Amino acid sequence: MSDLLDILLTAGFWAATVRIVSPLIFGTLGELICERAGVLNLGIEGIMTVGAMSGWMWVYQGGDLWGGVIFAASVGALFGMLHASFTVYLGLSQHVTGIGITLFASSLSYFVYRMLLPSATTPPKIVPFQNFEIPILSDIPLFGEALFNQSPLTYLALICVPVVWYVLQKTPIGLAVRMAGENPVAVEAQGIDVLAVRTGAVMVGSALMAVGGAFITMSWFDAFYFGMVNGRGWICVALVIFASWKPGKALMGAFLFAGLEAMQVRAQQSAGAFIPYQFFLMLPYVMSILAMIVMARRAQYPQALLVPFRRGERV
Amino acid sequence: MQIELRQHTSLLRIGMAPISAIFAALILCSALIIWAGVPVLEAYALLFKGAFGSAFALKETFTRSIPLIFTGLAVAVAFRSKFYNIGAEGQLYAGALASVYFGTGLVSLPGYLMVPFLLLVGALAGGLLLLVPVLLKTRLKVDEVVTTLLLNFVVLLMVSYLIEGPLRDPMAMGWPQTASIVDEGVLPTLMSKGRLHAGLIVAILASVLIWAVMRFTVLGYEIKAVGFNAKGAEFSGVKINRTVILTALISGGLAGLAGVSEVAGLKGYLTLDLSPGFGYTGVAVAMLAQLHPLAVIPAALFLSAVYVGADSMSRAVNIPTYIADVLVGVSVLAILVSVMLTRYRIKWRK
């Protein structure tokens, strides 16, 4: 128990938590936007992979870091468009399309990586985002260092949470997105194009997922490895349910998970002798399942989630 | 753009759907081959030769199709009742675990009993693993897609622990792998040369059996009814939860069989790289087969040919083997569209 306290009182633990939370925030917000508009996006795992690869590759080929982030986001949005043209315009199964996009996007990432770097045995590295220390605030002990001495992408993730909340809750566009996921017929009655709203939401959401992937290769690490996303996308899907489709709760959920993962890495060092490391690595997945069990009964699904909308069709 | 239901869908159209999807996928992926600087037709000819060009290649293609038939069936059965089991990968490893747990000396039976016994425990392990998500779905309404996906990672870590710890073969020179299946439990090879094993017969029997169940039994009817219209099925007296749970047990069991047949027929022991994603490819197999149990066999053969052929193609010319995975992903998307076009037509103007 005192070990646990020791971990909680180190700045390193909190800094690691805030680092680990960033891709989860991007991914969860991205999935949340898609689902709020009524589209389940199981392409997330592949879109994060393609974001990780394309952002990194942009920089490796000589581009600058922010250019890489924008490139990753655009590639993500393209895959979002592909997803939307299948699920929104053609009304095809969202489950199967999502799995198809994941298979396609991740294998395409690996293919492109191997094409451009055919003989790389040790993954080449880039100069990733450096931590940006916010003066004064970062002098606060423990939390200051953790929250205010981070990569700019982490700040971007944290800023995205209130922005997404504000846009969804307080703007006409957000209202249209939420209504497209609850009652698309009503949106149509207002003269708004449901299909366009849904497509836009899926594209924006997918762009965020891709930036989450890019964070892993451009800020957390400095190289692209195979199987790097490693189920983080699926954890984000679980987090959206855990968060009841609310951005604020998504942030809390993501922090809970990141804290657990940071703790797990440190606990491995102290308890690794008694408990095999695999059980620590299992924790995030098992916790995701548990989180879904806890929240399932209270889950307020968007009413039109998974339901394709066809203009002029009776409900 | 308007989407309209067709009045009539001809059998020819249904049959053509997967073939046109495959052609579409091959054409789309030729962009990548052009990028790699290889003439497209030559590359595909190499792929075809690598998969079917010699007796050896043919045997490899058939061998590799065995786990895909099982996982394809697992996905097809589950998707029929709209139970989205994406966890065939994990269930495959559960089956493999059961087969090495019971098959490496714990139980000794004569050969004609040992093989069926291992198949049985493997199927049970796969089914039991899927019981967790299905009960969570029927009891607590937890979405099964995410739970089955997440369990894949949990199972893989469990396997990693077991083959490094309790189930590690002390004679394996420090490699993390289990001991080998006893001789009585090994699925015999079908031909004197090559690795093609009796798992193929089990897989084909399983396809026929599942087809018969779906076609001629009440359970099969109920599975289809639940998938087609759950509310309607409930009104006419189908117990939905019971049907979904049974579907899940069958589906998980089939995926578990894939693990047993890979261990007992091919590798002999269990390592972490037993399956290069057979569970996920199973989704593609099932979709190409349009969820039909017998069509799973040619679909699995086709995708296995893609993998085997791509391996040999990438050795001959400079194209990364990942082209096979891209082809699989694109075919999943292409088949969705082509099946839709059998039932609907798109009108671009009103």
* A118 to B158: CB separation less than 8 angstroms, yes or no: no
Helices (H) and strands (E) in chain A, counts: 13, 2
Residue to substitute from A95, A112, A115, interface B, most B β-carbons within 10 A: A115
| Mean pLDDT of all residues in A233-260 | 93
Task: Provide the CB-side half-sphere exposure for B250 (13 A, CA).
Answer: 27
The total of structural domains in chain A comes to 1
Query: Tokens 């924790």, residue?
Result: A283
Provide the domain limits for residue A7: 2-119+129-296
Range 24-53 of A in CB contact (< 8 A) with B: 42
pLDDT of B43-91, one tens digit each?
999 999 999 999 999 999 999 999 999 999 999 999 999 999 999 999 9
DSSP state at residue B184: G
Residue B284 at interface with chain A, using a CB cutoff of 8 Å: yes
pLDDT of A29-54, one tens digit each?
999 999 999 999 999 999 999 999 99
| Mean pLDDT of all residues in B141-170 | 92
Count other C-beta atoms under 10 Å from residue A74's C-beta: 14
On the question of pLDDT at A314 being above 70, the answer is no
Q: Are residues B157 and A281 in contact, defined by beta-carbon separation less than 8 angstroms?
A: yes
What's phi and psi for B191, nearest 5 deg?
A: -130, 160
Residue A225 at interface with chain B, using a CB cutoff of 8 Å: no
Q: A172: helix, coil or strand? A: helix
In a domain, A315, yes or no: no
Least confident of A261-265, B7-11, B70-74, B219-223: B7-11
In a domain, A302, yes or no: no
CA quadruple A199, B146, B231, B4: dihedral, nearest 10: 30
Contacts (Cβ under 8 Å, ≥6 apart) of B285: B68, B69, B71, B72, B75, B76, B296, B299, B300, B303
Residue type, A12: G
In a domain, A111, yes or no: yes
- Give the percent of chain A with pLDDT over 70: 97
pLDDT at B350: 52
Count other C-beta atoms under 10 Å from residue B303's C-beta: 26
Range 254-293 of A in CB contact (< 8 A) with B: 276, 278-279, 281-282, 285-286, 288-289, 292-293
What are B82's two structure tokens?
A: 């709209």
Nearest CA in chain B to A95: B84
In a domain, A42, yes or no: yes
- CA of A25, closest CA in chain B: separation in Å? 18
- CA of B161, closest CA in chain A: separation in Å? 6
First-to-last alpha carbon distance for chain B, in angstroms, is 7
Range 291-320 of B in CB contact (< 8 A) with A: 318, 320
Q: Average pLDDT over chain A, rounded to whole?
A: 90
* B322 to A114: CB separation less than 8 angstroms, yes or no: yes
Contacts (Cβ under 8 Å, ≥6 apart) of B310: B47, B50, B319, B321, B323, B324, B327
Among the partner-chain residues B36, B150, B161, the one whose CB lies closest to the CB of A288 is B150
Nearest to B119 by CA among B151, B84, B95, B88: B95
* A285 to B158: CB separation less than 8 angstroms, yes or no: no
CATH classification of the domain holding A67 = 1.10.3470
Among the partner-chain residues B2, B79, B336, the one whose CB lies closest to the CB of A100 is B336
Residue to substitute from A94, A99, A110, A230, interface B, most B β-carbons within 10 A: A99
CA pair distance B290, B295, nearest whole angstrom: 8
- CA of A17, closest CA in chain B: separation in Å? 21
Domain extents for chain B?
67-284
What are A91's two structure tokens?
A: 């009304």
Q: Are residues A302 and A40 in contact, defined by beta-carbon separation less than 8 angstroms?
A: no
First-to-last alpha carbon distance for chain A, in angstroms, is 57
Contacts (Cβ under 8 Å, ≥6 apart) of B215: none
pLDDT of A69-90, one tens digit each?
999 999 999 999 999 999 999 9
- Looking at the DSSP bridge assignments, the partners of residue B4 are B345
Interface TM-score (ipTM) > 0.85: yes
Nearest to B132 by CA among A108, A292, A71: A292
The helix (run of H) or strand (run of E) holding residue B344 is: strand B344-347
Query: Tokens 């392990």, residue?
Result: B125
pLDDT at B3: 76
* A96 to B140: CB separation less than 8 angstroms, yes or no: no
Instruction: Please list the alpha-helical segments (H only) found in A216-307.
Output: 232-242, 247-271, 277-296
| Share of chain A residues as helix, strand and coil, in percent rounded to the nearest 5 | 70, 0, 25
Query: Tokens 């739970």, residue?
Result: B147
What are B135's two structure tokens?
A: 């009960």
What are B11's two structure tokens?
A: 């059998």
- Using an 8 Å CB-CB cutoff, list chain B residues near A115: 32, 35-36, 320
Residue B219 at interface with chain A, using a CB cutoff of 8 Å: no
pLDDT at A301: 85
Query: Tokens 């925030």, residue?
Result: A25
Q: A247: helix, coil or strand? A: helix
In a domain, A309, yes or no: no
- CA of B99, closest CA in chain A: separation in Å? 22
DSSP state at residue A124: P
Residue B135 at interface with chain A, using a CB cutoff of 8 Å: no
CA pair distance B137, B225, nearest whole angstrom: 18
- Using an 8 Å CB-CB cutoff, list chain A residues near B89: none
| Mean pLDDT of all residues in A100-111 | 97
CA pair distance B226, B238, nearest whole angstrom: 8
DSSP state at residue A298: T
pLDDT at A312: 67
What are B195's two structure tokens?
A: 């690795």
In a domain, A306, yes or no: no
Say what angle helices B323-343 and B11-35 make with each other, to 10 degrees. Answer: 150
Q: Are residues B167 and B34 in contact, defined by beta-carbon separation less than 8 angstroms?
A: no
Contacts (Cβ under 8 Å, ≥6 apart) of B299: B18, B72, B284, B285, B286, B288, B289
Q: Are residues B49 and B226 in contact, defined by beta-carbon separation less than 8 angstroms?
A: no
pLDDT of A161-189, one tens digit each?
999 999 999 999 999 999 999 999 999 99
* A285 to B337: CB separation less than 8 angstroms, yes or no: no
Nearest to B268 by CA among B339, B346, B185, B168: B185
